[in-house]
Structure 1
Amino acid sequence: MTAAAALAAALALAGCSDSGSAAGSGKAELSVSGPYMPQPVSADMAAGFLTITNKGGAEDELTSVTSEVAGQVTMHSTMGGAMRQKSSFAVPAHGQLVFKSGGNHLMFEKLRRKPKQGQTVTVKITFAKSGPLTVEMPVKSATYNPSTGH
């Protein structure tokens, strides 16, 4: 019981120090919204889109994306119609990193199974400083185009 009390006290102190630093906005506060994958038209590749919002006062960096559905997930930027693979993306303080059709996007390559409309794909998003986020990405129709611009 003494060990449990000590653990509870340590967790309480850790919670206090964490909330103190978050209140100072000295670190990233990341969340994901609008994730989706259009139902892939090919058997071995799919695209993915989402928005990462950082409400914190420090920049972070998206360093990798993984999923059980794909042998690898690569990140791409699109500028002036040219697509380039990137190893990381900055997530600005008090800003957003947007992956949308025709812009930055995720490519799910070497698919282990072909996701179908109505299913979800689990995606793990890893950052340089913050802990990883696990996101359930719904599979939409191949022609899905969200009105929010994501």
Structure 2
Amino acid sequence: MTLTNSKERLTNKTSSCVIQPTILEYNGSIFEYSAYKPTMRFLRDFDSIFPQLSSRQKAQLLVVPVIQKCEHDMVGLSKEVNDERDIKLELFISWGRRVVDRIKSVGMWADMMDPASGFPIFSHPGSSPYPDVQGTVMLDSRFDVQNVG
């Protein structure tokens, strides 16, 4: 999920955490989110993901990685894993829409990425999907994740 904040500038050379990791429960599912002011290198990739963003919007951009607790290893192929994956996706989309709607209601730009495709849900998609696993690791090195699909 991404949003903009007018008080941030593009002057930093490392991603800075502006909202520390926070745990919340939504409809019985545990989420963790945080917010980061991305580096210039990170932002360069956004040109092909969100080509419609203005320079001002990019200068104000915050990136919000969202992690959801799962009971199963999501790389599995069993019925239980598929069912949990579907439920977690629906919960993420439901929660994310509420967050995006709230941010937009105060006059800020916001969007969220479809975890299945990597493309924006609300904006016109660019030529590249957002690499959520790589993006999360670039923003917060405490995660040891692997992209298996």
Q: TM-score normalized by structure 2?
A: 0.31
The structure with the largest alpha-carbon Rg is: 1
Identify, as 1 or 2, the structure richer in strand: 1
Instruction: Name the structure where helix makes up a greater proportion of residues.
Output: 2
TM-score by length of 1: 0.31
